Structure 1
Amino acid sequence: MKELSTRTAGFTDSVIRRMTRVANEYGAINLSQGFPDFEPPKEITDRLAQVASEGPHQYAITFGAPNFREALARKQEHFSGMKVDPDKEIVVTCGSTEAMMAAMLSVCNPGDKVVVFSPFYENYGADAILSNADPIYVPLKPPAFDFDADELEAAIRQPGVKALILCNPSNPCGKVFSKEELLLIADLAKKYDIYVITDEVYEHIIYEPYQHTYMAALPGMKERTIICNSLSKTYSITGWRLGYVIADEKIIERVKKVHDFLTVGAAAPLMEAAVTGLNFGDAYYKELQAHYTHMKELFTGGMENLGLTFTKPQGAYYVLMDISEFGYDNDEDFCVAMAQKVGVAAVPGSSFFKEDINHLVRFHFAKKDETLSAALDRLSDLKKLRK
């Protein structure tokens, strides 16, 4: 048989999804893969029940049902202040994973380079490779996860750099980029004529006093920012796989074509039901923030009481714990041992860093109170793992 693709030969399976399988194998509480164990808003699931009998059940317009795009455009304008044309500046995708892939394929030529902050969501490197682009990594330095402006400019000014990927708030470290940091990035993007591809899936999960700033809404950035986002985290519907790209009309025309050949279109019944969520008022988002703040305080407060060392998230729903005290050279071995002997599953931090970092693991806390309390009770036995 002829050799398979060399482009994908170096791929491993997703470490995040692998740790879910480890959790299932040992009956561990799964704080690895980032999905909640509580239900979506009842208004959305009630509407889905109606749609199940009423439809639509056939293909929607490939780039998204009109009422979904119109509701999404209104929501985006409300929160960012940026006017969005629902017909010319939005493509609805099968999750933000496809949104990012469609954006990368629309922007990158073979041999182009893409700047990525490290730590990073594990898909970004694979997206670059699938797009025939080369990632260049710029470190976010713990514990504050700040970046060095000179290091960033040195990366961006390299020949062939086409885009920068920005996850804000950041997975896995929970960093919320300040407006000053984003203005600095924007100035470099304009100076070196590159695109900024933003992953903003945690835009509404922010902890006071931090605030989310939309890169595309900054002066001169709408035409060179490609927003990738989804409904998964905001409405607790990770299994619905509803994502989207928002960008300038010229970019969206290309994204529409790429998307059409990748997946044709998102699920019509799910788009119809999700319009209900897109039309929620401000009270929903305030309640969402309060709910996640409660979960963060419950879990990180419990970690603090247990004497564990961790970084405090500013946004998203992840926390990185330092495992240096346990004597493991390999963070994946630690995670497997923790799932097996303690009964809690996490993700090895090395899967998110380009740098040689093996002393961090990632927990997520988008769980019911009883789930988090049970996890903390089990984590009180972490001393079992000390070597």
Structure 2
Amino acid sequence: MGSQGRPLLNRRLAEFGTTIFAEMSALALSTGSINLGQGFPDTDGPEEIREAAVRALRDGRGNQYPPGPGVPELRAAIAGHQQRYYGLGYDPDSEVLVTAGATEAVAAALLALLEPGDEVIALEPYYDSYAAGIALAGGVRVPVTLRPADGSYHLDLDELRAAVTPRTRLILLNTPHNPTGTVLTREELAAIAELACERDLLVVTDEVYEHLVFDGEHIPVACFPGMRERTVSISSAGKTFSFTGWKVGWVTGAPELVTAVRSAKQYLTYVSAGPFQHAVAEALRLPDSYFTALREDLRGKRDLLVDGLTEAGFAVYRPAGTYFVTTDIRPLGFDDGFAFCRALPERCGVVAVPTAVFYDHREQGAPFVRFAFCKRRSVLSEASARLKALGPA
């Protein structure tokens, strides 16, 4: 307890302990297990991009505070990327903001755009930082649950519409979706766009897995009629270029939205990753062949792990995108993902994450477990072999 008998931790954060990723990664280290829990690659991205960072360091580019909105070269490259892949035109000077990864971008957007009591609709299960960001801003989470059926997860558009109230301020989207691997379709996104326009809602969209789509296609919601002026689009370099430790993310949107987000962001990190910004500017200009090869490599790894999990007895939901595959542990005789994941390292030397941590409705996610496949093929093969020893409880 603190002074006056108050708890030390702000009550808005009281429900959030240590993240599950820290807990499970520590368990992986202490048991020597294969860590398929946290979504980071076990090999670095392109050598020429790493060398670009070294070159920037040696040349003194970014070693001191970079400009608050991001280095001009990176902002121009981000705008060029949005035009090249989606036909979205953004002004690098007024409509692009560089952040300390997508996590900061989401947090800054929520802090900037929410007043206490505003409702935020998010697709459940959702990445854990979303809930913390909404809480810090004083917002109210309103989960709309993606439900598993026929081998994948699905959004109920009627449920989404019913979740909107006069207090709804924004919809927080994530597509391709972590942890389910769902990629929202053109029809679903059009319906979301129509709803946002009809009810005058803002949309904050996390698109960090934009280049990791194996089935279907990624379409930014900002592309739909009426959405450019009400959408804060977020992405980052970590997942696309396999340099997750660099923490270079970005926001694109109309000038008023980007200015609002920058107003919050400048009091979080102010600036970050100066030399890496220069390297990411070069990375975003890599030829299409790089992005195609990345996707095809991960598609093969997805299929390798999906086959291994299926042979081990899991019910598997094949992801259409991202780094992750969600499984149902009930065919193995388990129904508690937390207990399963905490026992898994001792049972067979593999670490996964219980999907229930991504739910407000914990019971909805209780029997589901998430594995990451952004690892070397030899690691995935070894993990699959170990998991086959599981057998029913």
**TM-score normalised by structure 2 residue count:** 0.95
Q: Are the equivalent residues in 1 in contact too, given 2:312–2:390 (CA < 8 A)?
A: no
Give 1:169-248 correspondences, 5 Å limit.
Answer: 169-208=176-215, 210-248=216-254
Counterpart for residue 347 of structure 1: 353
Counterpart for residue 151 of structure 1: 159
Q: Which of these residues, 350, 359, 380, is aligned with residue 388 of structure 2? A: 380
Q: Which whole-Å deviations, capped at 9, do the CAs of 1:238-290 have from their partners, x for residues lacking one? A: 00000111111011111112111111112111111222201112111111111
Q: Are the equivalent residues in 1 in contact too, given 2:208–2:240 (CA < 8 A)?
A: yes
More moved, 317-326 vs 88-97: 317-326
Q: Which whole-Å deviations, capped at 9, do the CAs of 1:28-72 have from their partners, x for residues lacking one? A: 100000000012101101112222221221011011000010011
Distance in 1 (CA, whole Å) between partners of 2:99 and 2:17 is: 25
Distance in 2 (CA, whole Å) between partners of 1:316 and 1:196 is: 21
Q: Which of these residues, 112, 116, 135, is aligned with residue 141 of structure 2? A: 135
**TM-score normalised by structure 1 residue count:** 0.97
Pairwise CA RMSD of aligned residues?
1.2
Counterpart for residue 273 of structure 1: 279
Counterpart for residue 368 of structure 1: 376
Distance in 2 (CA, whole Å) between partners of 1:147 and 1:369 is: 32
Q: Are the equivalent residues in 2 in contact too, given 1:32–1:363 (CA < 8 A)?
A: yes
Counterpart for residue 6 of structure 1: 11
* Alignment: residue pair count: 383
Give 1:264-303 correspondences, 5 Å limit.
Answer: 264-303=270-309
Give 1:303-322 correspondences, 5 Å limit.
Answer: 303-322=309-328
Counterpart for residue 129 of structure 2: 123
**Secondary structure of 2:56 counterpart:** helix
Residue identity matched to 1:77: Q
1:329 to partner: Cα distance? 4.4
**Secondary structure of 2:191 counterpart:** helix
> What residue ranges of structure 2 are gaps of 5+ in the alignment?
none
Counterpart for residue 67 of structure 2: 61
Distance in 1 (CA, whole Å) between partners of 2:58 and 2:19 is: 36
Counterpart for residue 113 of structure 1: 119
Distance in 2 (CA, whole Å) between partners of 1:202 and 1:365 is: 14
Distance in 2 (CA, whole Å) between partners of 1:273 and 1:154 is: 45
Residue identity matched to 2:114: C
1:176 to partner: Cα distance? 0.4
Q: Are the equivalent residues in 2 in contact too, given 1:43–1:276 (CA < 8 A)?
A: no
Q: Are the equivalent residues in 1 in contact too, given 2:37–2:351 (CA < 8 A)?
A: yes
Q: Are the equivalent residues in 2 in contact too, given 1:117–1:138 (CA < 8 A)?
A: yes
Q: Which of these residues, 86, 90, 94, is aligned with residue 84 of structure 1? A: 90
Distance in 2 (CA, whole Å) between partners of 1:239 and 1:377 is: 29
Counterpart for residue 36 of structure 1: 41
User: Which portions of structure 1, spanning 4 or more consecutive aligned residues, are displaced by more than 4 angstroms?
Assistant: none
Distance in 2 (CA, whole Å) between partners of 1:104 and 1:291 is: 34
Counterpart for residue 49 of structure 1: 54
Q: Which whole-Å deviations, capped at 9, do the CAs of 1:167-210 have from their partners, x for residues lacking one? A: 000000000000000000001001111111100000000113x1
Residue identity matched to 1:312: R
